[in-house]
Amino acid sequence: MALQLSNPARRRLRTLGFLSPWLVGFSVFFAYPLIATVYFSFMHYNQIKEPTFVGLRNWRYVFEQMPLFGPALWNTLWLVVIMVALRVVFGLSLGLLITKIKTGAGFFRTAFYLPYLAPPVAATVAFVFLLNPGTGPVNEILSSIGITGPNWFNDPDTAKPSLVLLSLWGIGDLMVIFMAALLDVPKEQYEAADLDGAGPFAKFRYVTWPAITPIVMFAVVTGVVQTMQYYTQALVAGKVASGVNIGPGSVIQPGYPDHSTLTVPQLVYQMGFQNFNTGAACVLSLVLFAIAMAVTMLLMRKRSGLLAAED
Amino acid sequence: MTTTTLTAPTTPERTAPTRGPAAARARRKRILHWIAVHSVAIAVALLFVLPFVFVFLTSVMSDSQAMSGDLWPNSWHWSNYKEVFETPGFLDWWRNSLMYAGLGTLFTVCSAIPVAYALAKFRFRGRRTAMLLVISTMMLPPQVIVIPMYLVWAQQFHLSGTLWPLIIPMAFGDAYSIFLLRQFLLTIPKEYIESAKVDGCGEFRTMVKIVVPMAKPGIAAIALFQFFYCWNDYFGPQIYAAQNPGAWTLSYGLESFKSAHSVNWNMTMAATLLVMAPVIIIFFFAQKAFVEGVTLTGVKG
């Protein structure tokens, strides 16, 4: 690589030059706000008066007194576990299905992929309509075959499962990733397994699964990190399903119904931008950060290939 | 790095007898298998497509019918779409979305190319650390840093109520795009770059003349992803643009559109489809680049 530039100082300068957009971006839009978040988590600050140091008071408030922290953390972790598990299983199943299809493969691939592209707000509004308990098409169809449909987004017991349905509808990205991984499994291994008389389950267990484990890992980790920041769909579903008008000054209950769709990111927004309790909002941010970083470290540890170099 | 061609795989031909009862049995089994796989696929595809169909059918119903729970429109009210466009603010949301997504994409692409190139092809101390930091940034929930960032943009630069606090940072490298493009650049053989250098090209000229043309599919992928990210973004516009309806984007405006028309599901569904339309139209034109990009994120380097 070091062909023309023999001077190491010049080479270092060149590297810095190429990296400079990111170096600036990283310091200004990542490192600085991260440090500032830690700083504000020890401050009382209402965004008008100067911040004052209050030690651990914000931390204790969040963990010991904040009424909505428990439900929000529970909902977030519930979604992380259930949504990620179902997404991976369903994504993998669709990936397997699509690799078995010969006739009309293009059509099926597009049909399965398209919902992933629907903007989250649009998809959520559409789902609240489709799953509308009284007049939504889904319950209409269910009742035509004699089933009384649930209240979906309007019942605290089924609101989160409804969000899971919405996220399974947008499974296209995972399907494509799994499909690519499945197509990369060497054909010879299947042929060898055939010769050994392996059935479909044995083939999956001993040939397919070992080959795709890194991708499954990748899907789990990115899924966890994405679900940690789950915000738009939960918020919009709650707002639209509650049916209140959101004009200036109107107060909406976060996480409708009964806080069942309130997530930690929503609480960050509420604390920081509606209650102007900057300190508590920053504590909540750092809780999110700690969990997301722990998962990322796990990803690095497991050598999922993300850092592979060209050599 | 594998760039898988996305065609249906063909199972290797079995060396089966071509005649006799064994062949007939094998053929029957194959046909049954074909039927089973395709019936499952058709059932699943229906479930995936039906939401779009219902949304569309509702979007052309009359006000009262849209609330009745009917599945098929009695009469087709195409004028709902016209009415949506005439809703005050709707055209501004389009303009704002296009500005956010257009400039955001342009800035991201221009800043990600040199960074990804350096990370993929230069050897320098700290390269691994730099990659680790890029990935950490990618993994960071936006809510973690939003409060200090908001305070800076609002209090120092007085830019709240605009989309600039969302657009400007994109000129300084988006982690996800850098990561994805770097994965793509790893697939370009070193020899091309070395021979350009032998011909006397400087590093910058090599990048512009050799690497960028070869990396077109990768660049197309990050451009599409970034465009869609901006188009779909709700959290960002909510933070910075909420207090100024003149700066709302389609994604942000849609939900308030529903709230303002709390009973009009037909209009809301028409607006919903209009928000989806650009993304889906672009997808049909750039399907290959898009799917390739998704694949790149997942397949190991």
pLDDT for the residue numbered B136: 84
Contact A94 B276 (CB under 8 A): no
pLDDT for the residue numbered A9: 84
Q: Which of B49, B78, B107 is the last residue of a domain?
A: B78
**Secondary-structure breakdown of chain B: helix, strand, coil percentages, each rounded to the nearest 5:** 75, 0, 25
Q: Identify the residue with better confidence: A306 or B158.
A: B158
Indicate if ipTM > 0.85.
yes
Contact B143 A239 (CB under 8 A): no
Structural domain includes residue B203: yes
pLDDT for the residue numbered A302: 57
Q: Long-range contact list for B130-137, CB < 8 A, 24+ apart? A: B130/A19, B131/A307, B131/B182, B132/A300, B132/A307, B133/A26, B134/A22, B134/B175, B134/B178, B134/B179, B134/B182, B135/A296, B135/A299, B135/A300, B135/A306, B135/A307, B135/B175, B135/B179, B136/A293, B136/A296, B137/A26, B137/A30, B137/B175
On whether both B65 and B102 belong to a single domain, the answer is no
CA distance linking residue B156 with residue B150, whole number of Å: 10
On whether both B216 and B265 belong to a single domain, the answer is yes
CA distance linking residue B76 with residue B57, whole number of Å: 9
Look at residue A52 and give its three-state secondary structure.
strand
Domain tally, chain B: 2
Chain A contact set for B130 (CB, 8 A): 19
* pLDDT tens figures, B208-219: 988 999 999 899
Query: What is the mean pLDDT of the segment spanning B156-163?
Result: 94
Is a pLDDT exceeding 50 seen at residue A106? yes
Instruction: Using pLDDT thresholds of 50, 70 and 90, give the confidence band for residue A300.
Output: low
Instruction: Using pLDDT thresholds of 50, 70 and 90, give the confidence band for residue A293.
Output: confident
On whether both B119 and B40 belong to a single domain, the answer is no
Contact B254 A245 (CB under 8 A): no
Is a pLDDT exceeding 70 seen at residue A40? yes
Chain B contact set for A118 (CB, 8 A): 276, 279-280
Chain A contact set for B98 (CB, 8 A): none
pLDDT for the residue numbered B4: 40
Is a pLDDT exceeding 90 seen at residue A29? yes
- Across chain A, mean pLDDT equals 88
On whether both B143 and B286 belong to a single domain, the answer is yes
Contact A19 B149 (CB under 8 A): no
Q: Identify the residue with better confidence: B262 or B116.
A: B116
CATH of the domain at B183: 1.10.3720.10
Contact A25 B169 (CB under 8 A): yes
Structural domain includes residue B17: no
Instruction: List, in sequence order, the alpha helices (H) in chain A.
Output: 8-26, 32-40, 57-60, 69-100, 105-117, 120-130, 137-144, 156-169, 172-183, 187-195, 200-203, 209-228, 232-242, 264-269, 278-301
* pLDDT tens figures, A70-95: 999 999 999 999 999 999 999 999 99
Instruction: Using pLDDT thresholds of 50, 70 and 90, give the confidence band for residue B287.
Output: confident
On whether both B174 and B217 belong to a single domain, the answer is yes
A80 interfacial to chain B (CB closer than 8 Å) = no
Structural domain includes residue B121: yes
Look at residue A44 and give its three-state secondary structure.
strand
Chain A contact set for B252 (CB, 8 A): 121
pLDDT for the residue numbered B212: 93
Query: What is the mean pLDDT of the segment spanning A258-269?
Result: 94
Chain A: closest CA distance from residue B180 (Å): 10
A15 interfacial to chain B (CB closer than 8 Å) = yes
Chain A: closest CA distance from residue B172 (Å): 4
The structure tokens 């989160």 sit at A160
Mutate to test the interface with B, among A29, A37, A299 (most CBs of B within 10 A): A29
pTM for the whole structure: 0.89
* pLDDT tens figures, B227-280: 999 999 999 999 999 889 999 999 999 888 877 777 788 889 999 999 999 999
Contact A272 B147 (CB under 8 A): yes
A37 interfacial to chain B (CB closer than 8 Å) = yes
Query: What is the mean pLDDT of the segment spanning A201-209?
Result: 92
* pLDDT tens figures, A133-143: 888 899 999 99
pLDDT for the residue numbered B2: 39
Chain A contact set for B194 (CB, 8 A): 1, 3
Structural domain includes residue B32: yes
Contact A246 B256 (CB under 8 A): yes
Structural domain includes residue B181: yes
Instruction: Using pLDDT thresholds of 50, 70 and 90, give the confidence band for residue B99.
Output: very high
**Positive or negative torsion for Cα B137, B142, B145, B150:** positive
Is a pLDDT exceeding 80 seen at residue B7? no
On whether both B109 and B56 belong to a single domain, the answer is no
Structural domain includes residue B83: no
pLDDT for the residue numbered A225: 87
List, in order of start, the domains of chain A with CATH numbers: 31-65+263-302 (no CATH), 79-129+158-243+252-261 (1.10.3720.10)
Structural domain includes residue B13: no
Contact A22 B194 (CB under 8 A): no
The pair of structure tokens assigned to A266 is 């929503």
**Minimum CA–CA partner of A119 in chain B:** B232
Instruction: Using pLDDT thresholds of 50, 70 and 90, give the confidence band for residue A244.
Output: low
CA distances A22 to A157, B115, B138, Å, are: 45, 7, 13
B169 interfacial to chain A (CB closer than 8 Å) = yes
On whether both B130 and B273 belong to a single domain, the answer is yes
User: By C-alpha distance, which of A167, A164, A162, A79 is closest to A115?
Assistant: A167
Query: What is the mean pLDDT of the segment spanning A116-131?
Result: 92
Contact B300 A305 (CB under 8 A): yes
CA distance linking residue A246 with residue A235, whole number of Å: 12
pLDDT for the residue numbered A246: 53
pLDDT for the residue numbered A60: 96
Contact A137 B8 (CB under 8 A): no
Q: Which of B78, B102, B117 is the last residue of a domain?
A: B78
On whether both B72 and B102 belong to a single domain, the answer is no
In terms of residue numbers, what domain contains B203? 89-297
On whether both B132 and B275 belong to a single domain, the answer is yes
Query: What is the mean pLDDT of the segment spanning A60-75?
Result: 94
Is a pLDDT exceeding 60 seen at residue A188? yes
On whether both B208 and B282 belong to a single domain, the answer is yes
On whether both B173 and B94 belong to a single domain, the answer is yes
Mutate to test the interface with B, among A16, A49, A112, A125 (most CBs of B within 10 A): A125
Least confident of A19-28, A121-130, A211-220, B235-244: A211-220
On whether both B58 and B124 belong to a single domain, the answer is no
* Phi, psi angles (nearest 5°) of residue A6: -90, -25
Contact B130 A40 (CB under 8 A): no
Q: What angle do CA A120, A125, A127 make, to 5 degrees?
A: 95
**Minimum CA–CA partner of B67 in chain A:** A135
Chain B: closest CA distance from residue A157 (Å): 23
Instruction: Using pLDDT thresholds of 50, 70 and 90, give the confidence band for residue A305.
Output: low
Is a pLDDT exceeding 90 seen at residue B109? yes
- Across chain B, mean pLDDT equals 87
Structural domain includes residue B12: no
Chain A contact set for B136 (CB, 8 A): 293, 296
Nearest to B234 among A99, A121, A187 (CB): A121
